[in-house]
Structure 1
Amino acid sequence: MTDALEVAGLVVDLPGRGGPVRVVDDVSFDIPAATTVGLIGESGSGKTMTANAVIDLLPSGATTGGSLRWRGEELLRASRARRRQVRGHEIAMIFQDPLAALNPTQTVGRQVGEILRRAGQSPQQVRSRVIELLDRAGIPEPAARLRSYPHEFSGGMRQRAMIALALAGSPALLLADEPTTALDVTVQARILRLLRDIQEDEGLAMLLVSHDLRVVAHVAHQVVVMYAGRVAERGPTSAVLREPAHPYTRALVDSVPAVRTRTALAHPLPGTPATPANRPSGCAFHPRCPIAREVCRVEQPSVRSVGSGRWAACHFAEEA
């Protein structure tokens, strides 16, 4: 299986008061074709910034380094015109807040069809394709919904409209940034099932950004765990969640209650999450780590192989 996207040593710096702040630091992972990779971590871990770097949607003033190879092509060295061509057509994004991402002054049908009109399709072709996309996204009576505005849709329906918009350019890679945030549990399950079905039916590669291990466990084949802008662990989802090789991953797993527990949280993570702006020396997780030792406070661990396609950035991964 070939890799649709290869991320190697990616760094993203944002301007700060005291100089550039490295919000993504030496991040590496691959997304094979027809595979879903989950990118997980607490708020501020760099997940969304990593996804935005892939699709070239970083804030003004941001600088990047490392490598982003899309089907063998280096995107970080591509022209601005080429990156615009990739965005939407080859790589599309499903944003976290569809109400903010969708234009409130335009109908849903017009927004979904925009990329088709720019491609030169006739009005009849655009209308037919938009109805098809809305139907594929699970919106009932799609022909009647063409003239609806985003505020006339429920939260789940708006997210389905976002999915239809993302599929309009026939992309090969979907970036889904917290696609079930603010949705109730039953709607979340339907959206995740829809994304999984689309990924499998269309043979798409997908990067699923989430803070929720349960979401990633149900959808992703591989998982990348991030903390303070760096990769803590990566590998096959079932193996990583069953036997974590990094104390941070273990803490995330333990913080998710089992189905039969009556408590809201099984074992909440202690302490405050580190961020790239206040990253501790050595291993960024050491102030919260139950097995931290002196070397953890002074030496940043490298991401190393821990066997069977597993990688972890921990001095004591075997012990963890």
Structure 2
Amino acid sequence: MSDMLELVGLVVDLPGPGGAVRVVDGVSFDIPPATTVGLIGESGSGKTMTANAIIGLLPDGATTGGALCWRGDDLLRVDRRRRRRVRGREIAMIFQDPLAALNPTQTIARQVGEILRRDGLDRDEVRRRVVDLLDRAGIPEPARRLNNYPHEFSGGMRQRAMIALALAGNPALLLADEPTTALDVTVQARILRLLRTIQESEGLAMLLVSHDLRVVAHVAHQVVVMYAGRVAERGPTATVLRRPAHPYTRALVDSVPAIRTRTALAHPLPGTPATPANRPAGCAFHPRCPLARERCRTEQPAVRSVAPDHWTACHFAEEIADRV
């Protein structure tokens, strides 16, 4: 049975004062085994909601459509028992804020060992496994840190504890939602190296959600670019960053110093990002796009292939790519 996760036309609607708001609108991509996929976009693009839909942690009142195909099941339609089995054991999540995600009243050992105790392991075996997990997550002297509480760890150490907790169920897929956002640059680099090492050594698939193109460029094999709840572009990371076929992707690349060259100059994106609640007609990016034409204002572009394994939602993709 394949460990590839496939999103097919994923839709997520959230209740709002004026009615339902479509925050994820027809998103399709896959995460192959032993592959890291970067999911990138500005705030409000729908990337975190997409990850939450995969793990089944949507807000109350949310409704979904499309399909999430995993090991022969559509996760949007399985019963609660199957969902609970998937969450933590087959698919695990590393949250953006470990201080909020970890229970402040329980020790690190108790939280990391919870899923192991559910498997019926005795106390000594749980302790041994927790020490091993903390060690794999890069926590020094793990046996001495078992009875520490989250507030006794630094930000980087808490994130490592979150990684250990995610690995406890021996998952095949990791979802990492902005795992380095609250950390300083040096600690960010260490956490990213750790995630890459774990992914490669254990053959895991990983979805890395980030707003930072530099993070995705250094870690991900493939990249999915989202804008206003929709996929703008997807493909191999090197291809998408070197030859973007969507003006939004190109603007993201140009806004990051030294992503393709040694220059320190950057060109910030003009305008305000569209969100699902204020998504314009046609191409959602057209109010900020310097190449927008009448067709862009009225007709939503379909996601289409522009090269092998390279897809984009732009009417004039070939023209964009030729300008690089």
TM class by shorter chain equals over 0.9
Secondary structure at 2:161 match in 1: helix
Q: What is the 5 A alignment of 1:201-212? A: 201-212=201-212
Q: Distance in 1 between matches of 2:37 and 2:180?
A: 16
**Residue identity in the other structure for 1:160:** R
Q: Distance in 2 between matches of 1:302 and 1:193?
A: 36
CA-based RMSD: 1.2
Q: What is the 5 A alignment of 1:1-320? A: 4-258=4-258, 260-262=262-264, 266-320=266-320
Secondary structure at 2:65 match in 1: strand
Contact 2:177–2:208 under 8 Å retained in 1:
yes
**Residue identity in the other structure for 2:246:** H
| TM-score normalised by the chain length of structure 2 | 0.96
Q: Distance in 2 between matches of 1:130 and 1:160?
A: 13
Contact 1:105–1:149 under 8 Å retained in 2:
yes
Q: Report sequence identity in percent.
A: 83
Q: Distance in 1 between matches of 2:69 and 2:2?
A: 12
- Deviation readout 1:88-113 (Å, 9 max, x if unpaired): 00000000000000011111111000
Q: Distance in 2 between matches of 1:22 and 1:42?
A: 17
Q: Distance in 2 between matches of 1:114 and 1:181?
A: 26
CA distance 1:3–1:317, change in 2 (3 Å): farther
Deviation beyond 6 Å, 4+ runs, structure 1: none
CA distance 1:82–1:207, change in 2 (3 Å): same
Q: Distance in 1 between matches of 2:175 and 2:226?
A: 16
- Deviation readout 1:19-43 (Å, 9 max, x if unpaired): 1100000000011100010000000
Gaps of 5+ in 1: none
Contact 1:33–1:205 under 8 Å retained in 2:
yes
Gaps of 5+ in 2: none
Secondary structure at 1:319 match in 2: helix
- 1:18 positional shift: 1.1
- 1:261 positional shift: 4.3
Q: Distance in 1 between matches of 2:173 and 2:317?
A: 32
Q: Distance in 1 between matches of 2:2 and 2:256?
A: 33
Q: Distance in 2 between matches of 1:144 and 1:214?
A: 35
Q: Distance in 2 between matches of 1:242 and 1:46?
A: 24
Contact 1:3–1:30 under 8 Å retained in 2:
no
Contact 2:3–2:172 under 8 Å retained in 1:
no
Contact 2:225–2:232 under 8 Å retained in 1:
yes
- 1:154 positional shift: 0.6
- Deviation readout 1:203-229 (Å, 9 max, x if unpaired): 101000000011001111100000000
- Deviation readout 1:239-278 (Å, 9 max, x if unpaired): 0001100000000000001285455xx0000000000000
